[in-house]
Structure 1
């Protein structure tokens, strides 16, 4: 009888451990790329970005995560423009055990597997509620180099230790909790649906296809459009 009980407990623990959690995020912006009413193309791009949101999903376990576009329901011109700006084709994989931090991305028709580095976070004392979770503020920054010069971009994350894990959207990770909200320069990423130990089979897919390059090599190949 004791063996049966232990077997049942083992089976339940394996099932729970094998279940992955998911967070859905809405990605949007409320900041225009530039202010030039005479540039019709720029106006069209700004109109598309300011009036379009995309949904992404983070699937994670205790050791790894995978972040990608959830589903593109609308294939209109606004969604296509937003897809480029919001990085809809990019997939991010993080494994804290093996120290693999990967971005799978297209550039000029070729697929690349980019090695990422852990962000250099500065933890702040500020906190706020996002839904039922108490979240704490963390900041970091990065440099964008393009034809207009060098620009320092600010990133603000709100993470909660109430959700175990060290993961977040858009390749941001390494905090003592899970990121529920992130402001990456002009892009705002907000958690809209949280499913811990989801009953659905949500697979974490480590990307393996693509030419392996560093983040610096990728940025030189595909310079950021934002400034």
Structure 2
């Protein structure tokens, strides 16, 4: 069972039509996963990742039209490195809802890339609600489909969004709900809002220009190809 996410909210400004931008901090929780937690080879590394996740923080910057989600800088150690690896925490996302574009930023030994797509999430809105801090949130569900040499796998996605915060963004590049996503669970990983700052300022959020622009299919081919090592 997932551990309890403790959420602390600090709000600046009023929730009104005058609220034009926001900044949100998110924490990371890596929960039990039968595939990893019981695997003879991976379980010890996974346990280290669960500990390291406590030190990883994220930030979402958004106005009414665009958002940028990324991991905050952190001093790494083996636990944090494993947490970043298991949760893909170093991947950042820029979303432009006017252009209906999502840009995913990847970097590693394979290089640095920008991956643009029109990908959207097919949400199913539920009647279930829960209180997060002082805010009433509603449940939405979807699926993450993973295709690899072992087959096709479907992992549950659960989002808790707050209609009273009228920004349709959230962590990890997920958006499209009628309110800010305060908590998101994808398979065994949970992102939970810890601080929200609202502003009347129409904050300008520039799209990062870093890495080579490629398609999702091109990036999959790069990941499938082993690196060529020098002599």
TM over 0.5: yes
Alpha-carbon deviation of 1:153? 1.2
1:17: Cα distance to partner?
A: 7.2
Aligned to 1:44: 44
Give how far 1:48 is off: 1.2
CA contact (8 A) 2:18 2:200 kept: no
Q: 1:202 to 1:50 in 2, by over 3 A?
A: farther
Deviations 1:91-113 (A, max 9, x none): 10011112221101125432221
Pairing 1:187–2:189 present:
yes
Q: Which residue of 1 aligns with 2:100?
A: 99
Report deviation, 1:150.
Answer: 1.3
Over alpha carbons, which structure has the higher Rg? 1
| Cα deviation 1:4-30 (Å, max 9, x = unaligned) | xxxxxxxxxxxx979731111101111
CA distance in 1, matches of 2:218, 2:121: 18
Q: How many residues align?
A: 203
Please, which moves more after superposition, 178-187 or 106-115?
106-115
Does the 8 A contact of 1:28 with 1:52 survive in 2?
Answer: no
Taking the TM superposition and a 5 Å limit, the aligned residue runs for 1:119-198 are 119-197=121-199
**What displacement does 1:89 show?**
2.1
Matched, 1:206 2:207: yes
Q: TM-score, normalized by length of structure 1? A: 0.80
Give the TM-score taking structure 2 as reference length. 0.79
Residue in 2 that maps onto 1:20: 21
Structure 1 pair 135/184, CA: closer, same or farther in 2 (3 Å)?
Answer: same
Runs ≥4 residues deviating over 4 A: 16-19
Distance (Å, rounded) in 2 between the aligned partners of 1:219 and 1:154: 22
CA RMSD of aligned residues (A): 2.4
